[in-house]
Every structure is written in structure tokens, then in C-alpha cells.
Amino acid sequence: MSRICHIDGREVGDRESCPVCVARLNANVDVATMSQEAKAVELEQWMGPLEVPFDLLHKRIEELAGRPVWTHELGSPALIAAEIRGGEAIPFSEVLAKLPADKAVVVLHD
Ligand SMILES: [Zn+2]
């Protein structure tokens, strides 16, 4: 079985990461050289079916956002993209405010 990568249209194995997308992530374009719009567009491009290992994508999204990104936030990528387009990472208190009130939070600080 195979499937088509939704990003580049290449055929990949049914349960495999797309090698083209993985190579692109591993190229690790420095976000300091990117405009806010380019960062937001890249983030939006990665949304949809997972084409790469989650840990690699999560790391890249955090680079694009310029802050830690909680996994539950990935359910609302438009909010992260809007934040990036706004040009500044939101304060940690606003990140916490996005969490449901009945969820426990563990914060590690060094
Ligand atoms: Zn791909």
C-alpha cells in the first residue's frame, strides 16, 4: 500500500514518513532568516496528515512560533499562525490560559 504526500505529491509507503518532507525538516532553515509571513505559511503547510515524525515537526513548529508549543495547541494551527503573523510570541500566561481549567499543568523551570 502507498499514499500520496499532501505537501509535495510524492508517493510514499502507507506507514512511512515522506522522505522529501523529512529532508526539508532536517535542512532546518534558520527561522531568523525568514519573514513572519514565511514562518506562518510554513506552519500552515505542515498541517494536515502527518508526513514526518511528530517529534521533528513539533520541534520545527516551536522554532517557527518562537516559543514552546503545547501539543493541544496543534489542534488550532490557525491561532499559532495568526500569532506568528502578529510578530511576537504570546506570553507564557496566555499559553496557560488556553488550557482547559480542569487539566493539570507541570511547569519545569531552570
Ligand atoms: Zn512530502
Give 109 Cα–ligand 1 centroid separation in angstroms: 36
In a domain, 103, yes or no: no
The answer, yes or no, to whether residue 109 has pLDDT greater than 70, is no
Q: What mean pLDDT do residues 86-99 have?
A: 73
Q: What is the pLDDT of residue 90?
A: 66
Give 78 Cα–ligand 1 centroid separation in angstroms: 21
In a domain, 104, yes or no: no
In a domain, 12, yes or no: yes
Q: What is the pLDDT of residue 79?
A: 93
In a domain, 109, yes or no: no
Give 50 Cα–ligand 1 centroid separation in angstroms: 10
In a domain, 105, yes or no: no
The pTM assigned to this predicted structure is 0.76
List C-alpha distances in Å: 79 to 40, 45, 83. Answer: 10, 14, 6
In a domain, 16, yes or no: yes
pLDDT digits (tens, 9 = 90+) for 3-58: 999 999 999 999 999 999 999 999 988 999 999 999 999 999 999 899 999 999 99
In a domain, 92, yes or no: yes
Which domain range does residue 39 map to? 2-97
